[in-house]
Amino acid sequence: MKVLVADAINEKGIENLKNVAEVVVDTSITPEELLNTINEYHGIVVRSRTKITKEIIDKADNLKIIARAGVGVDNIDLDAATEKGIMVVNSPESTSITVAEHTMGLLLNMARKLSIADKSVKDGKWEKKKFMGVELRNKTLGVIGMGRIGSQVVNRCKAFEMDAIAYDPYLPEEVANQMGVELTDLETVLKNADFITIHVPLTPETKHLISDDEFEIMKDTAFITNCARGGIIDEEALYNALANNKIGGAALDVYENEPPAKDSKLFELDNIVLTPHIAASTKEAQRDAAIIVADEIIELFQGGTPANVLNMPRIDNNTYQELTPYFELCEKLGSFISQAVNGKIIDLEIVYSGELAKIDNLELLTRTVIQGAVNPFLSSPVNAVNASLVAKNRGINITEGKKTNAKGYESLIKVIAKSEKDTFSAEGTTLHEARILKVNDYWVDVIPKGHMFIAKYEDVPGSIGAIGTKLGEYNVNIGIMQVGRDKKGGRAIMVLTLDKEIPTEVIKEIQNLDNVYEAIGLEL
């Protein structure tokens, strides 16, 4: 086996690789040189410099694995690699401890005003009174997002004798309990936490998760850090909260624009600590990334399955052709259902009927449904390879069923999601493109794409009009409207496609209308 290390990685990873393969290290290789030589290699290791384009993949006839030492895979054409049966792996856990430690640094910095005290001493001053701090001990840590990094921050804060509460609507209670954290709603976290730390991915749901209303709820002494992604905190609202001493202080590693504008108003404040997106930058994280990806390549070459595979394994061509028309539908059904169900999913049932039910192994479609269901809430991509494991780790029970009757369609796929407080189902088929034909017990016909909206309401005159008027007031144009009801004057459901994203305040206002039981915005 022959492996090319095309970007600089820690020596330990290269050493390990040499035990199983001939290793060529060429960290200045140009795209043209790579194109001409890629055919010689069975594995390639990159960081972010080397771009693995479709053109390169097309020529990579012997390549079995592309390993990204780090997390983001924007520089790799995942679809082209999957199509060619090349595995793509990364090392998402390599930075978790490093980012958690940076978060601790920022928490301590805010509590003890270290950055401004440092500047004051270097300016020749000795302002002991000005820098009165607070202890972390006995304070409440409020974690938003209890994934890999959030949980490591909790572990470290326990050593500082802090209490931890967390908001993570997608984490099962038992898993949170094992992590030693009490799960609660966002408002309770904001109201009670002395230190708030953000560790969620940036999604339509988390964009400006922390804005004016949220700062209003916080204690006047609260400190907040964001080492996740810029845009989760609304920087304008943050500036106002800090300038008016509505909160005690803030620390950011990530920004809405990176680097922030040279005249950013945040720079005027002395109750904020800023670092230049370096939370993941340590020698250890780089070493671990190299060791992890080397281990993954070794695992594959020795006949095993690497842990962090980001794309699908190669499957037999005939089955793949039969399943291909349904991948998009499965992904959309999963995403639709997980955004529509109220509460975190504990059971996900997928029922195939008609022609599809005749295929022996539908595991790949089931995994694609899971992928659609969990991807909106996780920072690193879940795919058909790792989907089942992710579902298991998040306490989601998966069942698969088959029925012969497809109600006149060639094939139907129904996904039923159950949470502690709700059951929601969607059923669809592929007619040139993915279509949802039934939502709960109501027949509809919608293309699950783009900005969508669902309302459950009482079937009385004026309900539909009131919702339409509200959308109109906010200039949200309806593309397609489908309504269904159980009986005249009973419960009804409306599924809309919209020309633009529906703002959260409009959803709240519709939710408050008479006769509306529930209003949900979705992004597909």
Angle among Cα 138, 142, 148 to the nearest 5 degrees reads 115
- The answer to whether the CB of 327 falls within 8 A of the CB of 404 is no
Q: How far is it, in rounded angstroms, from Cα 33 to Cα 38?
A: 8
Q: Which of 137, 174, 258, 432 is catalytic?
A: 258
Q: Taking contact as CB under 6 A, which single stretch among the options 37-45, 104-112, 162-170, 463-471 is the one that binds ligand NAD?
A: 162-170
Residue type, 233: I
Q: Taking contact as CB under 6 A, which single stretch among the options 82-90, 165-173, 327-335, 453-461 is the one that binds ligand NAD?
A: 165-173
Q: How far is it, in rounded angstroms, from Cα 459 to Cα 331?
A: 31
CB count in 10 Å sphere of residue 42: 18
Nearer to ligand NAD, 16 or 96 (CB): 96
Least distance (Å) between residue 190 CB and ligand NAD: 12
Alpha-carbon distance values, 219 to 20, 146, 188, 212, 248 (Å): 56, 22, 11, 13, 8
Q: Does 147 bind ligand NAD (CB under 6 A)?
A: yes
Which residues are registered as beta bridge partners of 251?
225, 273
Q: Does 518 bind ligand NAD (CB under 6 A)?
A: no
Nearer to ligand NAD, 253 or 459 (CB): 253
Residue type, 406: A
Least distance (Å) between residue 421 CB and ligand NAD: 17
Q: How far is it, in rounded angstroms, from Cα 65 to Cα 76?
A: 12
Least distance (Å) between residue 252 CB and ligand NAD: 10
Q: Which of 277, 287, 314, 491 is catalytic?
A: 277
Q: Does 201 bind ligand NAD (CB under 6 A)?
A: yes
Nearer to ligand NAD, 140 or 152 (CB): 152
Tokens of 297: 């390549």
Could you give the string, one character per residue 265-304, with x where binding to ligand NAD holds by CB under 6 A and - elsewhere?
Answer: ------------x-xx------------------------
Task: Using alpha carbons, select from 232, 114, 246, 85 the residue that is nearest to residue 167.
Answer: 232
- The answer to whether the CB of 431 falls within 8 A of the CB of 420 is no
Q: Does 146 bind ligand NAD (CB under 6 A)?
A: yes
Q: Does 95 bind ligand NAD (CB under 6 A)?
A: yes
Q: Taking contact as CB under 6 A, which single stretch among the options 143-151, 412-420, 441-449, 503-511 is the one that binds ligand NAD?
A: 143-151
Applying the rule CB under 6 A, the residues between 323 and 382 that interact with ligand NAD are 377-380
- Write the DSSP string, 406-427: -TTSSEEEEEEEEESS-EEEEE
Residue type, 17: L
Whether 205 is catalytic is no
Whether 258 is catalytic is yes
Nearer to ligand NAD, 82 or 95 (CB): 95
Nearer to ligand NAD, 59 or 277 (CB): 277
Peptide bond before residue 259 is cis, with ω within 30 degrees of 0: yes
Least distance (Å) between residue 452 CB and ligand NAD: 18
- The answer to whether the CB of 172 falls within 8 A of the CB of 199 is no
Q: Does 492 bind ligand NAD (CB under 6 A)?
A: no
Q: How far is it, in rounded angstroms, from Cα 494 to Cα 521?
A: 12
Q: State which of residues 7, 77, 168, 194 lies at the interface with ligand NAD (CB under 6 A).
A: 168
Q: Where are the beta strands (DSSP E) in 126-187?
A: 140-144, 163-167, 182-183
Give the residue closest to ligand NAD by C-beta.
147
DSSP letter, residue 124: T
Nearer to ligand NAD, 80 or 345 (CB): 345
Count the residues of the shown chain that bind ligand NAD, applying the rule CB under 6 A: 32
Least distance (Å) between residue 207 CB and ligand NAD: 10
Applying the rule CB under 6 A, the residues between 219 and 258 that interact with ligand NAD are 227-229, 253-254
- The answer to whether the CB of 264 falls within 8 A of the CB of 236 is no
Q: State which of residues 105, 150, 372, 484 lies at the interface with ligand NAD (CB under 6 A).
A: 150
Q: Which of 42, 102, 229, 451 is catalytic?
A: 229
Nearer to ligand NAD, 393 or 511 (CB): 393
Q: Taking contact as CB under 6 A, which single stretch among the options 93-101, 381-389, 401-409, 438-446 is the one that binds ligand NAD?
A: 93-101
Least distance (Å) between residue 151 CB and ligand NAD: 8
Whether 229 is catalytic is yes
- Write the DSSP string, 313-366: PP--HHHHHHHHHHHHHHHHHHHHHHHHSSS-EEEEEEEEEEGGGGSS--HHHH
Q: How far is it, in rounded angstroms, from Cα 522 to Cα 341?
A: 11
Pairing state between β 442-446 and 433-439: antiparallel
Nearer to ligand NAD, 68 or 148 (CB): 148
Q: Does 206 bind ligand NAD (CB under 6 A)?
A: yes
Q: State which of residues 85, 133, 169, 313 lies at the interface with ligand NAD (CB under 6 A).
A: 169
Q: How far is it, in rounded angstroms, from Cα 459 to Cα 492?
A: 5
Q: Taking contact as CB under 6 A, which single stretch among the options 54-62, 196-204, 414-422, 426-434 is the one that binds ligand NAD?
A: 196-204
Question: What residues act catalytically?
Answer: 229, 258, 277
Residues that bind ligand NAD (CB under 6 A): 95-96, 99, 144-150, 167-171, 199-201, 205-206, 227-229, 253-254, 277, 279-280, 377-380
